[in-house]
């Protein structure tokens, strides 16, 4: 069964927090599909994943690349599918996840400073719990992530 972890952004914006989580995915030898709703955010994250650190970068691609299936980390605006055979699904902007059960893990990231995002995350949490999905909740603090539920 898929394990879904909710990540409540508070201390850092998405383009700073996401690379840190993706580094951990990479360190574990896993592949990730990062699903967004808007092309604009996908292109912004595409650029920031190459430059988020002076000492490293995250090899990745977007679904419009020539060979998306070869990417260890793939940004997409598609609402379903797993082109790069990822074991981790990352949901941003309350993206659709009809295929969440096809992944080993799901990271649902949301901006806690945006009321609409917060409400959407609460609803998604409630829906997933009702479906019997194993969910955990992580809150971002100054020193990193703290598991709250």
Q: What is the pTM of this model?
A: 0.95
What is the reported pLDDT for 66?
75
Tokens of residue 65, six digits:
């690349």
- pLDDT tens, 15-26? 999 999 999 999
Helix (H, G, I), strand (E, B) or coil at 44: helix
Mean model confidence pLDDT for the chain: 94
CA distance 2 to 105: 5
Q: In the chain, pLDDT over 70 holds for what percent of residues?
A: 100
What is the reported pLDDT for 73?
97
What is the reported pLDDT for 54?
83
Domain ranges of the chain: 3-147
What is the reported pLDDT for 65?
84
CATH class of the region 3-147: alpha beta
CA distance 6 to 110: 8
CA distance 42 to 76: 7
105, 5 contact by CB (below 8 A): yes
Least Cα distance to 8 among 133, 125, 98, 134 occurs for: 125
- pLDDT tens, 53-106? 888 889 999 998 879 999 999 999 999 999 999 999 999 999 999 999 999 999
């Amino acid at each position: 069964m898929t394990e879904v972890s909710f990540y409540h952004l508070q201390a850092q914006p998405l383009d700073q927090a996401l690379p840190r989580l993706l580094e951990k995915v990479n360190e574990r030898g896993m592949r990730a599909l990062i699903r967004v709703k808007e092309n604009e955010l996908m292109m912004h994250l595409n650029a920031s994943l190459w430059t988020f650190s002076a000492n490293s970068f995250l090899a990745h691609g977007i679904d419009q690349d020539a060979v998306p299936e070869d990417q260890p980390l793939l940004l997409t605006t598609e609402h379903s599918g797993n082109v790069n055979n990822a074991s981790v699904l990352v949901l941003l902007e309350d993206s659709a996840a009809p295929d969440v059960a096809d992944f080993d893990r799901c990271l649902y990231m949301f901006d806690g400073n945006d009321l609409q995002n917060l409400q959407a995350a609460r609803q998604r949490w409630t829906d997933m719990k009702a479906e019997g999905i194993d969910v955990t909740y992580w809150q971002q603090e100054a020193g990193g992530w703290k598991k709250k539920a």
